[in-house]
Structure 1
Amino acid sequence: MSPPMLRFLTGLTLLLMLSSVLSAQREPLRVGIAGLTHTHVHGIFNSEGRGDIEIVGIAEPNRALAQRYAEQYGFPMEMVYDDLESLIEARKPEAVTAFNSIYEHLAVVEACAPRGIHVMVEKPLAVSLDHARRMQALAETHGIHLLTNYETTWYPTNHRAYAMVQDSLVGEIRKVVIRDGHRGPKKIGVDPEFLEWLTDPVLNGGGAIIDFGCYGANLMTWLMEGRRPETVTAVTQQLQPQNNPKVDDEALIILTYSNAVAVIQASWNWTIGRKDMEIYGLDGVIYADNRSDLRLRIPEGYDGFEEKSMTLEDRPAPYDDAFSYLAAVIAGEVEVEPADLSALENNLTVVEILDAAVRSAQTGETVRLE
């Protein structure tokens, strides 16, 4: 192991040990849930047992849907309110997590920010650039944390790949290929309340281009240390009109930088579910094949290579769970840097990229960012 990597890992270990001690000493963060229509909400219910958060209330007007979750997770229906305002007034949460449509994220921040309540939304940050900028203004005016949660943020392979890039193990980045998606929401059998808005061009902002294009935009912005691309070019198709009649289900997004290019393949037409990334540097390539499996290839000759494979364990708390991380950020134990995967600044760039991608796909032209 190189000396820079050793120093990095030693410092990280000490930081994580300190964070673990501090988190064990504080009270659980009081969290409200805005909406139950996003099936990723299972994540916060499963996370509560870690002890970092306490779910104090839920805003969901669909009583039948709320009852279904109440029976599964054992919470009383008295915790469920018809709207977020009522929940906030009655339960006084310190933070709210949004598990409703992407269009509704703005309303969540409008309700929470003036009251000093922190917010974490599911990816992407917003349905449009206009919504994103309004959310940013509210968060900055009222001094709240506004974080965005992605499944891939907690993949140890992505963080090891990032560390390898920082340690110059593959040289300067020249190309990144990021693939995300599955067979399509209807084909994999998502819950009906999720399917209803996920395939709606207003409530979700688009189809696969938004649902899975955001992962690649988020990861690339992180790898590029927050730099915005110079151009965005996108092509979309609708290969399952019977399942996704209102939105695209296939998207290819190309980002260009002064010294690199990214190819984002976002699809509801993959034969298998996937979230993987390839990073091509001047001296080697990193394959983050999934959450746990990573490969490093160093070229030899024309088409030969030496490959090192590794299977990684989950990252230490609070860097292995969205809601533990949220609690640590609000407690001041973790500082969110602008380019970080959950950061507001990174995710404003993500929405800017998606906005440009949608416009590019509609017009057939490359969009140059100002």
Structure 2
Amino acid sequence: MKFNVGIIGCGSITRFRHAPEYKANPHVEEIIFYDRNIERAERLAKEFGGRVAKKLEDLLDDPTIVAISDCSSNEAHHINTSKALLSGKHVLCEKPLAISVKHAEEIALAERQSGKKLMVDHNQRFTKAHQKAREILDKKELGEVLTFKTTFGHKGPEGWGATKSNATWFFKKERSHYGVAGDLGIHKIDLIHYLLNDVIEDVHAFTAALDKVDEQGNSIEVCDNVVCALRTKKGRLGTASFSWTYYGSEDNATTIYCQKGIIKIYQQLDAPLIVEKIDGKIIKYEIEQMQTNDNQTNTGVIDAFIKCIVADETPPVTSREAIASLQVVEKILRSE
């Protein structure tokens, strides 16, 4: 089975993640690109051997397109993803699903009305280290989870985005809305939900724009740092920090503290997953490193999305799960 896919939005996430992974998938025949800036779409069509849709409607009305990636900026997700679903397309939407839980629920309604598959790109679930950690926790090899800590930080989106400048839409309240909480934080919230098979219920957080400035030299309109304390529905306690101001190597580490030991994830380059048992035994899993902005590898997200279409399976990251993570982000911002 081979079919065409469309991509809405032709920024860096499309160029470095979605387009090359669609190109490498054996079920994808051709990629059709749409962007409000047609030159961006034309550049990617040339780079990946696809074609260009001049209008969004041209993409949505194309009967050869079975699936669409919504890689538009945050404020447009509830519009583009809902339209794509109601046009009869399966959709992979970038995170966050929307700029509010209300808008996310609108997308979920469109999903139900269309009968099409909607998957959200919470890609941390697909790394080998996180999947192995989930397996260890599910089997209760270290007993029950007691506490956790997680962080996600790098130098900021201005070096990653298409403009390569501090004019990036990530710094604009009306487009990004959540700042670093919706860019990096939501990844770790979803990851904690996934690893612990639990949901974060209570949040106490500090948020701030500590260092980033916009193209006029003014402090940005959204937070560039978040530090919070969390409690899950099952009573686990944890801390989390998300930052656009880690001016060195990326930090994507998580630690899970259990009754009979500790799981350390992405803390050592030579061993992405380390288990330290209460008796002193240390097990190092030498599995693949996580993809970063500076280390582009296959995330597995596109392959998982295509597989759920071809095999008619439930997407591995559902809209309900994405909304649960979005609810936590809103609690973080309300807490401050």
Residue of structure 2 in register with 1:20 after alignment: none
| Superposed CA offset, 1:60-79 (max 9, x none) | 1212222332343343xxx2
Q: Where in structure 2 are the equivalents of 1:98-113 lying within 5 Å?
A: 98-113=70-85
Q: 2:6 aligns with which of 18, 32, 46?
A: 32
Shift of 1:141: 2.0
Q: Where in structure 2 are the equivalents of 1:164-243 lying within 5 Å?
A: 164-186=136-158, 188-192=159-163, 196-225=168-197, 227-243=198-214
Paired residue secondary structure (2:173)? coil
The letter for the 1-side match of 2:213 is Q
Matched, 1:259 2:259: no
Greater radius of gyration (CA): 1
| Superposed CA offset, 1:113-170 (max 9, x none) | 2232111011221111111111111111221211111332221000000000011122
Query: RMSD in angstroms over aligned alpha carbons?
Result: 2.4
Q: 2:112 aligns with which of 140, 147, 156?
A: 140
Shift of 1:40: 4.3
Residue of structure 2 in register with 1:346 after alignment: 321
Q: Where in structure 2 are the equivalents of 1:74-113 lying within 5 Å?
A: 74-75=49-50, 79-113=51-85
Paired residue secondary structure (2:155)? coil
Shift of 1:256: 0.7
The letter for the 2-side match of 1:267 is S
Identical pairs, percent: 19
Q: 1:149 aligns with which of 118, 121, 124?
A: 121
Residue of structure 2 in register with 1:330 after alignment: 309
User: Is contact 1:38–1:99 with CA below 8 Å preserved after alignment?
Assistant: no
Residue of structure 2 in register with 1:356 after alignment: 331
Could you tell me how far apart the structure 1 residues matched to 2:255 and 2:33 are?
39
The letter for the 1-side match of 2:252 is K
The letter for the 2-side match of 1:168 is K
Q: Structure 1: state its 5+ residue gaps.
A: 1-26, 362-370
The letter for the 1-side match of 2:235 is N
Residue of structure 2 in register with 1:273 after alignment: 250
Residue of structure 2 in register with 1:250 after alignment: 225
Residue of structure 2 in register with 1:117 after alignment: 89
Residue of structure 2 in register with 1:60 after alignment: 35
Paired residue secondary structure (1:352)? helix
TM-score (norm 1): 0.79
TM-score (norm 2): 0.87
The letter for the 1-side match of 2:100 is S
Matched, 1:163 2:135: yes
Could you tell me how far apart the structure 1 residues matched to 2:326 and 2:12 are?
19
Could you tell me how far apart the structure 2 residues matched to 1:30 and 1:72 are?
17
The letter for the 2-side match of 1:249 is D
User: Is contact 2:45–2:52 with CA below 8 Å preserved after alignment?
Assistant: no
Could you tell me how far apart the structure 1 residues matched to 2:153 and 2:314 are?
30
Paired residue secondary structure (1:192)? coil
The letter for the 2-side match of 1:287 is K
**How many residues were matched structurally?**
319
Could you tell me how far apart the structure 1 residues matched to 2:14 and 2:274 are?
29
Could you tell me how far apart the structure 2 residues matched to 1:189 and 1:90 are?
31
Give the number of the structure whose residues are more often helix, by fraction: 1
Residue of structure 1 in register with 2:294 after alignment: none
Shift of 1:96: 0.7
Paired residue secondary structure (2:175)? coil
Shift of 1:269: 1.4
